[in-house]
Amino acid sequence: MMSGPVLLFDSGVGGLSVVSALRQHYPRLPMCYACDNAWLPYGLRDDVTLSKRIVAVCKAAVDACQASVLVVACNTASTLALEGLRQTLDIPVVGTVPAIKPAARSSLTRHIGLLATTATVNRPYTQALINSFASDCIVTKVAADALVTQAELWLSGVPLDEQGVQQALSPLWQATQHTPALDTVVLGCTHFPLLKPMLVSLSPKPLIWVDSGDAIARRVGQVAPNRMNATPDGRCFTTAPAAQLTIGLSRYGFQPPQLLTVSDTGR
């Protein structure tokens, strides 16, 4: 038991930001990566169909790499499918939650921003987190789905569209001019930390940027303590051809992606 690698799953390349956090904490942790790029972006699918799809893809990927832990490095997938995954798989499953709690702790002005996808911004679970951990804060919610595409293209070697990024972030920048001024931003999609250097450079004033990577790393350390110095792995699986991602994935220590066979999920 617990002899295989840690498997990270996302709809696209966003989970690589969690890979970075895990490597900072555990440099020799063996990891595999799987993304459901055939169904990207997930926000276009209905919840019932998407939940079944996530379980099917994750099960296929767990079987392919004989994983000992599954990290669902995607907010949308976590909200929809954690229960189904835990019922289906006999390994620990670690989910992703927007870092509302640490952001509220960090904010001095009590005005925080939530930068996420439309699905995450609008889901009741997100408001429940705000009610529980940031009830004394002003929370400016910004849906920035375009940044997901930017991150995917960037990893494929396409230069970032700075003008497009600025447009997506304009509500956030406006909130830094309010009273009280926004001082902390939750990166509520795992794609967004990949773009953090650009976000920092474009910000009109210094901000605190918070994501879920460290919290996920700590949880993995709790459920897989005996895997921290095992033999590295590095296999990668996609559900559609993704040769354009090979160079980008290699920067995170992964081999060229292999095509994953997934049972029919009613596509």
Name the catalytic one among 32, 35, 189, 236: 189
Residue 115 has what DSSP assignment?
E
Could you say which of 32, 35, 74, 137 is catalytic? Answer: 74
Report how far residue 172's alpha carbon sits from residue 200's, in angstroms, rounded to the nearest whole number.
12
Q: What DSSP assignment string belongs to 156-212?
A: TTPPP-HHHHHHHHHHHHHHTTSSSPP-EEEE-STTGGGGHHHHHHH-SS--EEE-S
Q: State how far the Cα of 22 lies from the Cα of 116, in Å rounded to an integer.
A: 21
236 included as an active-site residue: no
Strand, helix or coil for residue 75: helix
C-alpha span between 84 and 134 (Å, rounded)? 29
Q: Which residues, in sequence order, are CB contacts of 24 under 8 Å at separation 6+?
A: 217
Catalytic annotation present for 74: yes
Active site residues: 74, 189
